[in-house]
């Protein structure tokens, strides 16, 4: 029922059903929590999302990476990037879905600047964070393929850009 509401454009109803389940003493599953956390993210319902976060921890779901990834997404979409980052850092295994959630959150809420721009008031912190993320991604085995990025660049120029 929760998933049906959440996946058919009724996230408020999904939250309501989950609340009724909790009051009735029904213990949620990982799938239920992920669905209802995603529903709160869809409508940027941060107060409800925080309640679900606490509820899920009290119910013993703290070690569940699927729940944590949904929380990262919810906090990131709601603009609580510090909390999203803390939850992200506690993931046992950072999968593509987890990375997408945190990157999308930063893309939605962090001020944009052009590569090489040092006039941005936070450019030092931004570049430091980018270096850290680059290191983590490289450490995880990601090797960027620049062929599609540099398709309009002459071969002799590509070498100096990579």
Residue 145: what pLDDT? 61
pLDDT for res 147:
52
Handedness of CA 109, 114, 115, 117 (dihedral sign): negative
pLDDT recorded at residue 92: 93
The two tokens of residue 151 are: 């398709």
Per-residue model confidence (pLDDT) at position 66: 93
Place of tokens 């049906």: 4
- SS3 per residue for the chain: CHHHHHHCCCHHHHHHHHHHHHHCCCCCCHHHHHHHHHHHHHCCCHHHHHHHHHHHHHCCCCCCHHHHHHHHHHHHHCCCHHHHHHHHHCCCCCCHHHHHHHHHHHHHHCCCCCCCCCCCCCHHHHHHHHHHHHHHHHHCCCCCCCCCCCCCCCHHHHHHHC
- Do residues 68 and 87 touch, judged by C-beta distance below 8 A? yes
> For residues 96 and 100, what is the distance between their CA atoms, to the nearest angstrom?
6
Please tell me the predicted confidence (pLDDT) of residue 155: 61
pLDDT of res. 162: 52
Q: 85-132, pLDDT tens digit by residue?
A: 999 999 999 998 898 898 888 888 775 555 666 766 677 887 788 788
Per-residue pLDDT tens listing for the chain (162 residues): 888 888 888 888 888 888 888 889 888 889 988 988 988 887 877 888 898 899 899 989 888 999 999 999 999 888 888 999 999 999 999 998 898 898 888 888 775 555 666 766 677 887 788 788 888 888 888 776 655 555 555 666 555 555
């Amino acid at each position: 029922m929760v998933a049906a509401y959440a996946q058919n454009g009724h996230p408020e109803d999904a939250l309501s059903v989950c609340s009724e389940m909790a009051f009735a003493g029904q213990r949620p599953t990982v799938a239920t929590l992920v669905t209802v956390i995603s529903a709160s993210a869809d409508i940027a319902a941060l107060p409800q999302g925080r309640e679900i976060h606490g509820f899920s921890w009290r119910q013993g779901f703290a070690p569940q990476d699927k729940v944590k990834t949904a929380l990262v997404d919810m906090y990131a979409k709601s603009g609580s990037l510090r909390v999203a980052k803390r939850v992200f850092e506690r993931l046992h295994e950072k999968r593509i879905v987890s990375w997408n959630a945190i990157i999308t959150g930063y893309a939605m809420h962090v001020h944009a600047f052009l590569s090489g721009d040092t006039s941005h008031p936070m450019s030092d912190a931004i570049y430091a964070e980018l270096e850290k993320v680059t290191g983590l991604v490289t450490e995880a085995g990601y090797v960027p393929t620049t062929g599609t990025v540099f398709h309009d660049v002459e071969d002799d120029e590509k070498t100096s850009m990579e």
